[in-house]
Amino acid sequence: MSIPERFERVRVEMEKRQADCLVVSPSSDLRYLTGFCGISLERPVLLILTMKRAWFIAPEFEKENLSLQLKESAIIVGWRESENPYKKTKKILIEEDIQKILVNNQMPAIMVYHLRNIFSEQKIIPAGGLLSDIRAIKNEEEYEYLKIAQKLSGNALIRLINEGICGKTELETGRILREYLCQEGLECSGIPLVAAGKNGALPHHSADHTIICEGDSVIIDFGGCYQGYYADITRTVAVGNVQNELKKIYDIVRRANEYAAKHAKPGMTGEELDMIARNIIEQEGYGVYFTHRLGHGIGLDIHEEPYIVKGNNSSLHDGNVFSNEPGIYLPGKFGIRLEDVLFLRKDGAECLTDLPHDILISN
């Protein structure tokens, strides 16, 4: 989808909200709309979108770094170090009848403060769901990026498992996996979540110096980024052999994952899908140990709309992409999580995660 097409989608939503102007700062929102993925720090970069025009305001020295498509889609306005970019923004819009300005939800508070100071007579409010709702519906290009991200990330995990993790620390394992993700051609930052043995009972345990031992179960939650779009995968790995209790709990989590994937469809709510998986775990007596939501949207952000959680009564739509990650966490013992990425079609969900659901075994 071209930049002008995305601008028009936004304008439709702006009109519904009776907004005259949308201001977007550097963020995944700005990357979605323009392809610009730079940072601003103390130097403001702003997309100004009205019902008729679009301006892209950036430091003068950044203008040559902008894409040709962006230059053709918006009026590029540079500002020098001696100028106040917010005053320049107001000067640009002086001829527009601007009464209500929306700012994207990811805009830093200091930028909102400066805009309110300059546009003292206008109403400035958060854009709310305007951009997140648009971004939640992925097109076929985004589908391809997401699918490639899952595939390449899965390749990295299989390489790690085949080479063995026993005797390594969680941190060593995470660093090796991150290197493999990079070698697959993915962007990656931070250390993947690696939680061995009883650490697996902590859903967001940070990898530490715990040594992975024979007989451990290890939760590995990871994913690289392709063309800005994220993978998010979790697999539970048995080291050496599969303990009986581990197999029992794993089978429950697997059934919850697969049942949710099978029954996901447009029109149902995030709460309904969460309950489909949660009911299976609760019927087995482990509901209290499933301590988080079933899933979250995935795209240019690792967590975005829609959220598959109790209390979300918004309907799911064709084109939504979200994680399906039921889990059971037994304090002091171990944890199990099985996470895939689902792409919702008119006739149901397609699993983009190209990895088996059998327990992975490593030495």
User: How many whole angstroms separate alpha carbon 221 and alpha carbon 164?
Assistant: 17
User: How many whole angstroms separate alpha carbon 13 and alpha carbon 7?
Assistant: 10
The model's pTM is: 0.94
User: How many whole angstroms separate alpha carbon 218 and alpha carbon 238?
Assistant: 6
- Nearest-10 Cα torsion for 239, 187, 4, 306: 30
Peptide bond into 306 cis (omega under 30): yes
Nearest to 190 by CA among 209, 166, 207, 212: 207
Q: What is the pLDDT of residue 292?
A: 98
Q: What is the pLDDT of residue 1?
A: 86
CATH of domain 140-362: 3.90.230.10
Q: Which three-class secondary structure state does DSSP give residue 343?
A: strand
| b/e per residue 99-123 (b: at least 16 CB within 10 A) | eebbbbebbeeebbebbeebbeebe
Q: Which three-class secondary structure state does DSSP give residue 337?
A: strand
Q: Are 209 and 195 in contact (CB under 8 A)?
A: no
Domain locations in the chain? 3-135, 140-362
Q: Tens digit of pLDDT per residue, the chain (363 long)?
A: 899 999 999 999 999 999 999 999 999 999 999 999 987 778 899 999 999 999 999 999 989 989 999 999 999 999 999 999 999 899 888 878 888 999 999 999 999 999 999 999 899 999 999 999 999 999 999 999 999 999 999 999 999 999 999 999 999 999 999 999 999 999 998 999 999 999 999 999 999 999 999 999 999 999 999 999 999 999 999 999 888 999 999 999 999 999 999 999 999 999 999 999 999 999 999 999 999 999 999 999 999 999 999 999 999 999 999 999 999 999 999 999 999 999 999 999 999 999 999 999 999
Q: What is the pLDDT of residue 98?
A: 87
| b/e per residue 15-29 (b: at least 16 CB within 10 A) | eeeebbbbbbbbbbb
Q: What is the pLDDT of residue 95?
A: 78
Q: What is 27-44 written as a DSSP string?
A: THHHHHHH------TTS-
Sign (positive/negative) of CA torsion 175, 178, 182, 183?
positive
Q: What is the pLDDT of residue 97?
A: 82
Q: How far is CA 52 from the centre of its chain?
A: 31
Question: What CATH architecture is 3-135?
Answer: 3-Layer(aba) Sandwich (3.40)
Tokens 């970019």 belong to 85
User: How many whole angstroms separate alpha carbon 203 and alpha carbon 355?
Assistant: 21
How many other CB atoms are found less than 10 A from the CB of residue 88? 19
User: How many whole angstroms separate alpha carbon 281 and alpha carbon 327?
Assistant: 9
Where is 283: in which H helix or E strand? helix 270-283
Q: What is the pLDDT of residue 94?
A: 82
